């Protein structure tokens, strides 16, 4: 136990990581607070950011000890979760259906290909205009981002399945329903999870843009507000907050993937 801890502490990789981060933060401090380089004048230094982020009485009114901070997080997370859940349910089912039925694929794929190249954020004006309420527009933009990534990867997943598994399943007496549940769904899972991972990334990005352009609350909105109110410390602390949330959500997807695809994990372990 002790020796493992010791190994951890003296592990050059960890040490180097700490040094790397320290150098980055020091340079940031040097450029902003000490040297006051021309373009860095307006950028807050790391100590100011940390002070503001962890202060009981932050100048911006937003720190880990204020209710607003968590309200902002709750808004953003709530929107992302709603959009992502919808994108997963619709995207996976559509992708599986397209992979399962040639006819369905022939009819739907051209439409997907027609709509897919439009960046999710180009939907913003139309979404605000047409959908009832800005809230739904923001969720829609977040949804559409993850949706196409999920559909496409699910479809690729179905196409990636070795043909022999289908033949074997038919030999063994499967009806189409059984083939769907026992070959198509598990066979495409690895690709589905890749799609979810990508979708989650684009979702967060689109959410921030949606909140900046159309939102009333949430982290993206607060970042932009901070910019207008000259509270640059919380612009940066919120950027990192978004980074942490993004990291947690993709870690959660990875964990879910490991849980659902035990066979993949064991293969990698072996």
Partner 1 sequence: MAAGAQNNQGEIFIKNVTKIYDPEGVHVVAMKDCSFDIAAGEFAVIVGPSGCGKTTLLNAIAGFDTITSGEIYLDGELISSRDRQIKPDVERMVVFQNGALFPWKTVMENVIYGPVVQKRMKRSEAVDAARDMLHQVGLNGIEDKYPEELSSGVQRRVEILRALINKPKVVMLDEPFRGLDAVAKTVMHEFLMDIFCESPRTMFFITHDLDEAIFLGSKVIIMTTRPAQVKKIVQVDLPWPREHHLLGSQIYLDLKREVLEAVHEEAKKAFEAGEREMA
Partner 2 sequence: MEMIQELRLKREFKKVFNIRVLRGFLSIVMFVVLWQLVVFIKVPYLENLPYPKDVAAGAADAAGSRTYWFGWGISLIRIFVGFIMAQLIGIPLGLAMGISRTFKDFTFPVFEMLRPIPPIAWIPLAILFWPTRELSIYFLVFIGAFFIIVINVIQGVSNISVSLKWAASSLGARPKHIFWRILVPGSLPSIITGMTVGMGVTWNVLIAAEMIAGQGGLGRMTWEAYTNNNIPFIVVGMVSIGVAGYLCSTLVRWLGEKAMPWKKRF
Instruction: List interacting residues with partner 1 (CB under 8 A).
Output: 162, 164-165, 167-175, 178, 182-183, 186-187, 189, 261-263, 266-267, 270
The CB-of-167 to partner 2 minimum distance in angstroms stands at: 23
The CB-of-103 to partner 1 minimum distance in angstroms stands at: 19
- The binder of 19, among partner 1, partner 2, none, by C-beta within 5 to 8 A per type, is partner 2
Give the one residue of 223, 233, 253, 257 binding partner 2; rule: CB under 8 A.
223
Count of C-beta atoms within a 10 Å radius of residue 173: 7
Q: By CB neighbour count within 10 A (0-12 exposed, 13-18 middle, 19+ buried), where does 38 fall?
A: exposed
Closest CA to 121 of 59, 212, 39: 212
Contact partners, residue 63, CB within 8 Å, separation at least 6: 52, 53, 54, 55, 56, 69, 234, 237
- The binder of 81, among partner 1, partner 2, none, by C-beta within 5 to 8 A per type, is none
Give the one residue of 185, 205, 260, 261 binding partner 2; rule: CB under 8 A.
205
- The binder of 162, among partner 2, partner 1, none, by C-beta within 5 to 8 A per type, is partner 1
Closest CA to 96 of 87, 107, 105: 105
Give the one residue of 12, 164, 267, 268 binding partner 2; rule: CB under 8 A.
12
Closest CA to 89 of 150, 14, 153, 161: 150
Compose the 100-129 pattern: x for residues touching partner 2 by CB under 8 A, - for all others.
---x--xxxxxx--xx-xxxxxxxxxx-xx
Q: Token pair for residue 163?
A: 């043909």
Count of C-beta atoms within a 10 Å radius of residue 123: 21
With contact defined as beta carbons under 8 Å apart, do 223 and 69 qualify? no
Q: By CB neighbour count within 10 A (0-12 exposed, 13-18 middle, 19+ buried), where does 270 fall?
A: exposed
- The binder of 178, among partner 1, partner 2, none, by C-beta within 5 to 8 A per type, is partner 1
The CB-of-259 to partner 1 minimum distance in angstroms stands at: 13
From the CA atom positions of the chain, what is the Rg in Å?
23
- 20 lies in the site for partner 2, by CB under 8 A: yes
Helices (H) and strands (E) in the chain, counts: 13, 0
- The binder of 243, among partner 1, partner 2, none, by C-beta within 5 to 8 A per type, is partner 2
- The binder of 170, among partner 2, partner 1, none, by C-beta within 5 to 8 A per type, is partner 1
- The binder of 4, among partner 1, partner 2, none, by C-beta within 5 to 8 A per type, is none
Distance CA 55, CA 65 (A): 7
Distance CA 11, CA 4 (A): 10
With contact defined as beta carbons under 8 Å apart, do 88 and 150 qualify? yes
- 255 lies in the site for partner 2, by CB under 8 A: no
Binding site for partner 2 (CB under 8 A): 12-13, 16-21, 23-24, 39-40, 42-43, 103, 106-111, 114-115, 117-126, 128-132, 145, 198, 202, 204-209, 212-213, 219-220, 223-224, 226-227, 232, 235-236, 238-240, 242-244, 246-247, 250
């Amino acid at each position: 136990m002790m020796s493992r801890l010791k190994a951890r502490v003296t592990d050059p990789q960890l040490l180097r990581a700490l040094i790397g981060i320290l150098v980055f933060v020091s340079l940031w401090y040097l450029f902003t607070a000490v040297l006051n380089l021309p373009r860095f004048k307006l950028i807050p230094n790391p100590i100011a950011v940390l002070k503001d982020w962890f202060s009981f009485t932050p100048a911006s009114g937003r720190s880990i000890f204020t209710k607003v901070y968590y309200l902002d997080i709750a808004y953003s997370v709530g929107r992302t979760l709603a959009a992502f859940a919808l994108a997963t349910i619709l995207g996976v089912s559509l992708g599986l259906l397209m992979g399962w039925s040639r006819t369905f694929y022939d009819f739907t794929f051209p439409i997907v290909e027609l709509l897919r190249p439009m960046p999710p954020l180009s939907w913003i004006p139309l979404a605000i205009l047409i959908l009832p309420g800005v809230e739904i527009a923001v969720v829609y933009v977040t949804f559409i981002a993850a949706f196409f990534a999920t559909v496409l990867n699910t479809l690729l997943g179905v196409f990636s399945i070795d043909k022999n598994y289908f033949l074997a399943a038919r030999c063994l007496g499967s009806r189409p329903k059984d083939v769907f549940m026992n070959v198509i769904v598990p066979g495409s899972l690895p690709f589905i999870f890749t799609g979810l991972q990508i979708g989650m990334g684009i979702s967060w990005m689109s959410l921030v843009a949606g909140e900046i352009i159309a939102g009333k609350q949430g982290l993206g909105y607060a970042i932009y507000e901070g910019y207008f109110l000259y509270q640059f410390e919380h612009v940066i602390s919120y950027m990192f907050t978004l980074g942490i949330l993004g990291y947690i959500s993709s870690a959660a997807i990875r964990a879910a993937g490991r849980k659902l695809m035990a066979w993949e994990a064991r293969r990698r372990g072996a």
